[in-house]
Amino acid sequence: PSRLAAWRRAAQACDLDDHSSCPVCSPQRLTAEEVSTIGAMVTSPAYRHVPTGRLAILAQRLGTVVASASTWYRLVRERGWRRPRHRVHPKGPREGVRADKPNELWHIDTTIVRLLDGTRAYVHAVIDNFSRRILAWRVHDRMEAGSSVQVLVAAGAQLDSKLRPRLVADAGTENCNAAVDKLIDSGLLERVLAMVDIKFSNSLIEAWWRSLKHNWLFLNPLDSVASVRKLVAFYVEQHNKAIPHAALDGRTPDEVYFGRGDGVPDALAVARREARTRRLEENRARQCAVCA
């Protein structure tokens, strides 16, 4: 009998647009007015500070809709209602600090690499802002105050004496100590602290740390500091000489730093146009059995 009753209900046509089935067949369901009221309260900015479950109880106390919280959750999920509770974030810079020529702006930072035995390796590096070239790097088994000085001296060895780059660093102890202060006071560099002296962060070299770790270091067994040193040496060479950068219009950091890749963007643009033309000609020349 229950199967026969279900067939009879399914055979009855219902012309109501706001219900998926006839309300007479399921008299306990919410009315159209109640559903509309729930939708208005869920999407109203006046109740955006009230969670959905507590909003169901609040509606019961106000006498607008008497329904359980599970019914509210189900309607929100089925109807795709979005609570107007988007967090308002302060506007940040859309683009980081940018240099106009090589050796105008440097970034220095230190990252920690955990080895298989639980010990750590400390990688120090300096990157040029304009060309994204790694100017110098060091790998040590412990954090030392003079490590940053060694990297900066190695980077400045290939620097013209007339240039005085600005060094962007964070406020860590490896960058703010007596040894680094003595180097800054010598006039070789000018140091600015990220998010303190300037509103920009040190994200340029932090992005390179992410590439170094996830694209190379984490793909190899890191069993010793010597292994990390060899792996970093390989990736730095590949990064500077072989891997093209999208922000550099397809050029490598070495080509931009030494001014050798001026014709690469135009050559790539010509190659893309030729490939597009050739692809159209070949695809239009092909015919299947239906086309023939």
Is the pLDDT reported for residue 254 higher than 60?
yes
The pLDDT score that the predictor gives to residue 13 is 56
Radius of gyration for the chain, computed over Cα atoms and rounded to the nearest angstrom: 32
pLDDT band at 221 (very low <50, low <70, confident <90, very high): very high
- Residue 196 confidence (pLDDT): 82
pLDDT at 8: 81
Greater confidence (250 vs 13) lies with: 250
Average pLDDT value for residue range 255-273: 94
Q: 93 φ, ψ to 5°?
A: -65, 130
Q: What is the mean pLDDT of residues 104-126?
A: 95
Say whether pTM exceeds 0.85.
no
* Closest C-alpha to 217, from 202, 204, 230: 230
Q: What's the CA gap between 160 and 254, in Å, rounded?
A: 17
Q: Taking 90 as the threshold, does the pLDDT of residue 194 lie above it?
A: no
> Is the pLDDT score of 28 beyond 90?
no
